[in-house]
């Protein structure tokens, strides 16, 4: 993996607008735009193959973990309300379909790939990963260039598979797609709206009649026992960019069971078991020593004096957190190296050995590795100046280095 300087396109903002990516100027570290094309990350074909293989392997082990949790009914460890335990299990057993997810991976640049977390329910960075960085590649490196990016094609294929084989509905069937409009301040959450708009386009190409709505406008008809949108239309099938852990604690959660066969949700509710960092603990319990996993526990005891992992750096992460919030990095003696404030400290923490992340030109890179259905679909790179990848990270496009193997790169 290399990081190379790159000259920004003179009209890069206008070009990004053309693919429906409009939040490129969100502030990042130092007030720079979130989208950064002053640099690019280059990967050899061998590295891409390794990332693809690790992603497929991790997805398979995650499926094993879900099966284990459902069979052993370990839902309480994930903070899932008791009233929803059976529904989560039924959703898994009846194989409710999934569209996508994103692993966050640590790559040390020398062959070690480790799981940091699985954004399996509401992953963002989609439009910039699928469309924006592909456009950048073609604009700056020409038609002969390549990157690991099959996202658009696979999303269309997966939506078509769900429509035809899983839901059995004809072309033109309605699909609602929802995101949260605002955080209470009335200002549109542009990142979520753009992400859902892009997902709607892939579903439209797969034959759905798409309708984009806001979560705040969904309501429940007590007499008809069904969910409705703001126009009073029955919501039969819906993609939502809204976390299940929030939905599970709202009053509408009581209506999920009676509408199980009248409203299909994507992502499905069984994904609560993957979007929770308690998954890291279960994975290490089931597959200790796995080359793509880091030791993870429910307490810090293994890393403290006298523990089996004493002398190693470790990280405390909230079970339900986003964008690095409430993450604390510790040195081998328990001293705080870095920490990030946030609102996600009420649902407990997990404790994971600190990963070795590539650090190039003073930047720390985390790789987002996408899965569509069960298939590895591409990667993105976000970078920061410090050890925690938070909401001020910058998105940097990538490319495959032509004719260069791993040994030559070293």
Q: Which two tokens stand for residue 310?
A: 């004493």
pLDDT at position 166 is: 97
Interatomic CA distance for residues 144 and 231, integer angstroms: 48
Interatomic CA distance for residues 230 and 125, integer angstroms: 28
Interatomic CA distance for residues 112 and 114, integer angstroms: 7
User: Closest Cα partner for 169 from 161, 177, 178?
Assistant: 161
Taking the alpha carbons at both ends of the chain, their separation in whole angstroms is: 9
pLDDT at position 368 is: 97
User: Closest Cα partner for 329 from 293, 307, 295, 355?
Assistant: 355
pLDDT at position 322 is: 76
Q: Which two tokens stand for residue 37?
A: 């094309």
User: Closest Cα partner for 388 from 351, 355, 339?
Assistant: 339
DSSP E strand stretches across 188-284: 209-214, 219-221, 226-228, 237-241, 264-266
pLDDT at position 315 is: 94
Contact of 102 with 117, CB cutoff 8 Å: no
Interatomic CA distance for residues 96 and 266, integer angstroms: 8
Interatomic CA distance for residues 368 and 63, integer angstroms: 19
Strand partners, 349: 318
Task: Give SS3 for 141.
Answer: helix
With vertex at residue 339, the alpha carbon angle to CA 337 and CA 344, rounded to the nearest 5 degrees, is 150
- R_g over Cα of the chain: 21
Phi, psi of 202, rounded to the nearest 5 degrees: -65, -40
Q: Which residues of the chain have pLDDT under 50?
A: 405-410
pLDDT at position 408 is: 39
User: Closest Cα partner for 19 from 183, 178, 137?
Assistant: 137
Contact of 141 with 360, CB cutoff 8 Å: no
Buried b / exposed e over 217-237, threshold 16 CB at 10 Å, is: ebebeeeeebbebeeeeebbb
Interatomic CA distance for residues 223 and 388, integer angstroms: 49
Strand partners, 240: 178
Q: Are strands 219-221 and 226-228 parallel, antiparallel or unpaired?
A: antiparallel
Task: Using the Cα atoms of residue 380, residue 385, residue 387 and residue 391 in order, give the sign of their dihedral.
Answer: negative
Q: What is the DSSP string of 142-196?
A: -TT---SB-HHHHHHHHHHHIIIIIS---TT-EEEEEE---SSSS---HHHHHHH
User: Closest Cα partner for 274 from 42, 111, 12, 96?
Assistant: 96
Q: Which two tokens stand for residue 269?
A: 């509710």
Task: Using the Cα atoms of residue 88, residue 168, residue 208 and residue 172 in order, give the sign of their dihedral.
Answer: negative
pTM comes to 0.95
User: Closest Cα partner for 50 from 116, 125, 105?
Assistant: 105
């Amino acid at each position: 993996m290399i990081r190379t300087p790159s000259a920004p396109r003179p009209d890069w903002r206008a070009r990004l607008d053309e693919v429906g990516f409009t939040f490129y100027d969100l502030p990042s570290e130092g007030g720079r735009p979130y989208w950064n094309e002053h640099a690019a990350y280059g990967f050899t074909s061998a590295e891409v193959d390794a990332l693809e293989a690790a992603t497929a392997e991790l997805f398979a082990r995650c499926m094993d973990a879900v099966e284990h949790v459902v069979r052993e009914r370990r839902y309480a460890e994930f903070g899932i309300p008791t009233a929803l335990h059976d529904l989560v299990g039924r959703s898994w057993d009846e194989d409710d379909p999934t569209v996508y997810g994103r692993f966050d991976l640590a790559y040390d640049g020398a062959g070690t790939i480790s799981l940091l977390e699985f954004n399996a329910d509401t992953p963002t960075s989609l439009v910039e990963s699928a469309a924006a960085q592909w456009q950048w590649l073609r604009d700056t490196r020409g038609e002969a260039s390549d990157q690991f990016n099959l996202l658009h094609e696979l999303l269309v294929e997966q939506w078509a598979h769900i429509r035809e084989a899983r839901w059995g509905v004809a072309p033109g069937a309605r699909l609602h797609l929802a995101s949260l409009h605002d955080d209470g301040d009335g200002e549109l959450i542009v990142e979520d709206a753009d992400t859902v708009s892009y997902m709607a386009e892939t579903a439209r190409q797969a034959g759905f009649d798409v309708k984009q709505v806001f979560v705040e406008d969904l309501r429940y008809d007590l007499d008809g026992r069904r969910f409705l949108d703001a126009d009073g239309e029955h919501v039969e099938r819906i993609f939502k960019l809204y976390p299940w852990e929030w939905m599970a604690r709202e009053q509408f959660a009581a209506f999920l069971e009676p509408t199980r066969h009248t409203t299909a949700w994507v992502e499905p509710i069984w994904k609560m078991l993957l979007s929770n960092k308690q998954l890291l603990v279960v994975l290490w319990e089931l597959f200790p020593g796995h080359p793509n996993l880091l030791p993870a526990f429910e307490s810090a005891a293994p890393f403290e004096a006298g523990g089996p992992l004493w002398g190693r750096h470790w990280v405390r992460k909230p079970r339900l957190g986003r964008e690095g919030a409430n993450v604390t990095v510790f040195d081998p003696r328990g001293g705080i190296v870095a920490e990030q404030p946030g609102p996600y400290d009420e649902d407990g923490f997990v404790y994971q050995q600190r990963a070795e992340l590539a650090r190039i030109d003073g930047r720390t890179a985390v790789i987002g590795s996408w899965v569509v259905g069960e298939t590895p679909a591409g990667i993105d790179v976000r970078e920061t100046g410090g050890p925690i990848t938070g909401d001020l990270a910058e998105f940097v496009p990538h490319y495959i280095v032509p004719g260069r193997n791993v040994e030559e790169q070293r």
